[in-house]
Each structure stands twice: as C-alpha cells, then as structure tokens.
C-alpha cells in the first residue's frame, strides 16, 4: 500500500479532519488545477451529505473559504482565522490563492445541499469557477476521512501516482506478520524500512519528532486554557480545571483507578483544542485526535522508558501501520462507518503503538490493536448540534484508557488470540455498511436528536 506515516499524521487545525482539513485542501487543489485565474469572475462551492448537514458545526464553510484563499491546514495560524474570514465578509470579495479578487460572501458563495448525497462518499463537495467569457470549470471532490481527499472518479490507488517500491509491502496484518516471520523484524522496523524507501533517515526522524512536538504542545495548551468552546452549545472547557484539581493535592473525591485520570485529561485537552479550532495532529482523524497523544505522553512520562526518543518513533510507526490497514480495508471516516472508524481506530493505533514502544512482539502488537477496535464496534457518530464536542471530547478520554488496557492485556499474554485484526477490521467495515446514515456524522440520530440544543448555526 502506498501510504506513509505522514499521511496518517497530518499537522492541521480543528475541528474536523474530514470536514475542515479535507475541504480546505480540496478547495485549494481545485484552484491550482483549474488553470490561470486572471479572467475568473466568480467562484462557488456546494456541499453535500454529511458536509452539508454538519458542515457549519464542523467548520466546513470556513475551511472552504480559507482553501480558496490559498491557505493550508498545516501552515495557517489558527489565531488569524477569524480575522481572515471577517475581511472576506467585510470586503465582499475573496482573493483566490491570495491573488485574484472576485466578488464573494459566504451566504452567496456556499450552497448546502442538506438532502442530497453524491455517489462516491457521504462527504461530497463541488467547486465551480466562472470566467469572463461565460465558460466554467467544475469539479467534484470527496473528503474520505483523516484529511484525505479524492477527486471524482479518482481511486485511492491513483491518489498519489504509482506506488513506491518498498521492501515490506502489505495490505493486511497477515502480510505484515508473514514479513516479520520471514525477516525476523518487528513491525516498527519494517515500517521504518518502508519509509526509508521514500525519504532519508534524517527527514523521517525529524518528521516523527515534529509530530510528537506538536502533540505535546497541544496537550500543554489544552491543560492551561479555560473558557467556553465556540459553536452555541456553551460547552465549558474542563481539562484545565480538572488538571489543576488533580495537581492541587485534594484527594477527597479520588477513586482507586484515578492514576489513569491524567491520561483522560490529556486526551480531553487535545480535543478541546480541536473543538476550538486550534492546532492539532490528525491521528488518524481530528475527532479522535486526543487518544494517541495521551497514550504517547503516558508512555514517555509514566512508563519511564530508557530510550524515549526511539520508543516514541516506534510508537508512531506502528500506530501508522494499524491506521493504514483500517483505512485500506474499512474506513477512518465517521461519515462512512461511524465513530468506530475514528475513536475505535485511534484506540487500536495507540494500543499497538504502546505495545511496540514497550518492546512487545508482533503478535502482541496485533492483539492489542484487535482489542482496541473490537470494543468500539458499532459506535455511532452522533455529535450534538453538529459540533465536535459532545460526546467527542469525552470519548477520546475513554478511548485513551481503553488503549492502555488493551496494551496491558496483550503484554500479559503471549500474543495468542482468537480474533485476528484483519477479521475485526472487516467486521468494522460491514458494521459501518449496515449502520443507518443518521448515525454517521449527520446529527440526524442518537444523542444529536435526543438532547435539546440551541441553533448553533445562528451563533
């Protein structure tokens, strides 16, 4: 499979990889591929399915405008987003790719097709340019989860051109295990070898270290930032206050299991940052971005590793392998398979990564990942008010604890287990296919309709 660790871990902004990061990338790509912009007189974008139904709550409208302006998720300063959008509305024009100005407002340039879904994926969007001579350029894109996008008719295999030759090609965990048996190498060693077929070692390690740096910074900022999350639900940020309580010495309300309380708070801190539109790492999605950083911090600080730098790199490489398998053989899109494909996959990635960092065998790594997904099967994606807040933030806290539990169970065994990772991934795919659309990031079912909310779109 032609996928890299840096495809699974993308540095960007919240609140959603599929609804924010993907549409921003798609809008910019559309303009780059459209050709010269000198004679463009108008631009329009239409959102379909889940992108339309929960797009406002997930920041899709803002992301499209920013992408048309030429911004990228990895480079934009989250603190400047509101000012950039306000300038567009004030001037009633947008500078395409930062250069060509055309008339534009969000009200006239964005169309939400709430009752229409495009054929290739629930997260569909289209872009149209009009030129001075009356001709148009029109293209459809799909945001397929985790910040990945595809143009209409473009297969996953052709997303990035021909696959690079790698020493350990794999499409299933069975492939990886067979390579390991034949070569005597661990999963992180094989993933490292695959990456080194594409980039040099210094660049690989610098990239992995950068991911961990951004993750740590996200946790730290989330643990010190209080206040209210945007969007209209008036959700209070809790991680910072709970962290102060945990560090303040008041043990009156502690339970015997509260040693893991910090892990939950790390994850919640990240997802509060995500909900606020802050800088996060897609891991493998923004809605599940807190789980892997939380478990990584637990490893680096609480497990007291002798070589934390190598351990963190092995963690990320192994986690990426699990994410690749899930994306390849099922989905990491909540709009396609529900939250089992986001929180469930992130839990599996974190569990496998932790086992690898602690020196577990390939069989134990597989076992941990399988446990992580198995106990999220059937989880719906039903965000209240279309916002990535409730139940998303707490789900990350719970998912991080589950990942550590899965790793512990695996490490205490010899790797023997009844259900294979490949089987549970296929089960997740089938479960997602059977799941009604109202439970897949549309906010038309589940908690989203059983809790009275304000109209967030008007806030």
State whether 100 and 181 are in the same domain: no
168 domain-assigned: no
pLDDT of residue 67: 98
Alpha-helical runs (H) found in 358-420: 362-374, 392-411
The DSSP element (H or E) to which 14 belongs, if any, is: none
The reply to whether 457 falls in a domain is: no
Q: Give yes or no: residues 217 and 307 share one domain.
A: yes
Structural domain of 178: 173-451
Which pLDDT value is given to residue 255? Answer: 53
- Asked, for residue 386, whether it belongs to a domain, the answer is yes
pLDDT score recorded for residue 246: 84
Q: Per-residue confidence at 454, pLDDT binned at 50, 70, 90? A: very low
Evaluate the CA torsion angle 87, 88, 94, 96 in order and state its sign. positive
CATH number at residue 418: 1.10.4100
> Do 198 and 280 reside in the same domain of the chain?
yes
CA dist 106 → 48, 53, 56, 271, 320 (Å)? 16, 16, 11, 27, 37
pLDDT, tens digit, for every residue of 302-358? Answer: 999 999 999 999 999 999 999 999 999 999 999 999 999 999 999 999 999 999 999
Confidence of residue 1 (pLDDT cuts 50, 70, 90): confident
Residue 53 lies in a domain: yes
pLDDT for 452 beyond 80:
no
Shared domain for 196 and 330, answered yes or no, is: yes
Residue 37 included in any domain? yes
Shared-domain flag, residues 288 and 352? yes
Q: How confident is the model at residue 456 (pLDDT cuts 50, 70, 90)?
A: very low
In angstroms, rounded to a whole number, what is the distance separating the alpha carbons of residues 274 and 222?
9
| pLDDT digit string, tens, across residues 170-208 | 999 999 999 999 999 999 999 999 999 999 999 999 999
Alpha carbon distance 448, 445 (integer Å): 6
Q: b/e string for 30-54 if b means 16 or more Cβ within 10 A?
A: bbeebeebeebeebbbbbbbbbbbb
Asked, for residue 150, whether it belongs to a domain, the answer is: no
Q: Which residue has the higher pLDDT, 301 or 248?
A: 301
CATH number at residue 43: 3.30.1330.90
How many structural domains comprise the chain? 2
Q: Is residue 156 predicted with pLDDT exceeding 80?
A: no
At 155 the pLDDT is: 75
pLDDT at residue 414, rounded to an integer: 92
Angle between helices 187-196 and 343-357 (to 10 degrees): 100
**Cα(55)–Cα(444) distance, rounded to whole angstroms?**
13
Shared-domain flag, residues 211 and 86: no
User: How many residues in total does the chain contain?
Assistant: 459
pTM: 0.93
Residue 252 has pLDDT above 60, yes or no: no
User: Is 330 found in the same domain as 199?
Assistant: yes
The SS3 assignment for 229 reads coil
192 or 253, greater pLDDT: 192
- 169: DSSP letter: -
Per-residue pLDDT at 259? 61
Which region among 54-68, 94-108, 153-167, 442-456 has the lowest average model confidence (pLDDT)? Answer: 153-167
Both 307 and 352 in a single domain? yes
Residues 293 and 333 in one domain: yes
The overall average pLDDT reported for the chain is: 93
Question: Does residue 330 form part of some domain?
Answer: yes
Q: Quick one: 35 and 132 in the same domain?
A: yes
What Cα–Cα distance (Å) separates residue 97 from each residue in 25, 33, 49, 128? 12, 12, 27, 15
Indicate if 432 and 304 belong to the same structural domain.
Answer: yes
What DSSP line would sit under 297-354, residue for residue?
Answer: HIIIIIS--S-HHHHHHHHHHHHHHHHHHHHHHS---HHHH-GGGTHHHHHHHHHHHH
Q: What is the pLDDT of residues 60-92, one digit of tens each?
A: 999 999 999 999 999 999 999 999 999 999 999
Question: Is 344 contained in some domain?
Answer: yes
Same domain? 408 vs 331: yes
Report the percentage of the chain scoring pLDDT > 70: 94
Write the burial class of residue 219 (CB in 10 Å: 0-12 exposed, 13-18 middle, 19+ buried): buried
């Amino acid at each position: 499979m032609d996928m890299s660790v840096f495809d699974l871990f993308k540095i960007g902004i919240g609140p959603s990889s599929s609804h924010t990061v993907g549409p921003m990338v798609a809008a910019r790509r559309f303009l780059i591929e459209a050709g010269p912009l000198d004679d463009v007189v108008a631009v329009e974008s239409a959102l379909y399915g889940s992108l339309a139904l929960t797009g406002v709550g997930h920041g899709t409208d803002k992301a499209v405008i920013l992408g048309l302006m030429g911004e990228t998720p990895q480079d934009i300063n989250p603190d400047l987003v509101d000012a950039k959008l306000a300038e567009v509305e004030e001037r009633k024009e947008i500078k395409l790719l930062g250069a060509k100005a055309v008339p534009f407002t969000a009200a006239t340039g964005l169309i939400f097709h709430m009752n229409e879904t495009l054929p290739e994926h629930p997260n569909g969007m289209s872009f149209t340019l009009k030129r001075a001579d009356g001709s148009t350029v029109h293209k459809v894109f799909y945001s397929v989860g985790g910040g990945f996008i595809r143009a209409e008719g473009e297969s996953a295999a052709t997303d990035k051109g021909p696959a690079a030759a790698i020493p350990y090609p794999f499409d299933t965990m069975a492939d990886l295990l067979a390579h390991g048996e034949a070569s005597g190498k661990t999963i992180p060693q094989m993933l490292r070898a695959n990456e080194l077929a594409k980039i040099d070692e210094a660049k690989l390690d610098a990239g992995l270290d950068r991911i961990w740096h951004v993750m740590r910074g996200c946790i730290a900022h989330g643990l010190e930032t209080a206040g209210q999350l945007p969007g209209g639900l008036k959700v209070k940020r809790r991680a910072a206050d709970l962290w102060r309580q945990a560090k303040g010495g008041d043990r009156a309300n502690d339970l015997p299991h509260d040693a893991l309380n910090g892990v939950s708070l790390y994850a919640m801190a990240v997802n509060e940052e995500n909900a606020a539109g802050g800088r996060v790492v897609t891991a493998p999605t923004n809605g599940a971005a807190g789980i892997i950083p939380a478990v990584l911090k637990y490893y680096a600080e609480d497990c007291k590793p002798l070589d934390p730098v190598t351990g963190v790199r092995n963690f990320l490489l192994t986690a990426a392998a699990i994410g690749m398998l899930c994306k390849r053989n099922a989905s990491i899109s909540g709009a396609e398979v529900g939250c089992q494909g986001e929180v469930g996959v992130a839990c599996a990635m974190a569990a496998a990564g932790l086992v690898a960092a602690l020196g577990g065998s390939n069989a134990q790594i597989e076992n941990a990942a399988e446990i992580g997904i198995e106990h999220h099967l059937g989880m719906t994606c039903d965000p209240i008010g279309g916002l990535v807040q409730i139940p998303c933030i707490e789900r990350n806290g719970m998912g991080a604890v589950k990942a550590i539990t899965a790793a512990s169970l695996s490490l205490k065994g010899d790797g023997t287990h009844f259900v294979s990772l490949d089987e549970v991934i296929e089960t997740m795919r089938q479960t997602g296919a059977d799941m009604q659309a109202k439970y897949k990031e549309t906010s038309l079912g589940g908690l989203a309709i059983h809790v009275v909310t304000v109209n967030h779109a008007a806030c």
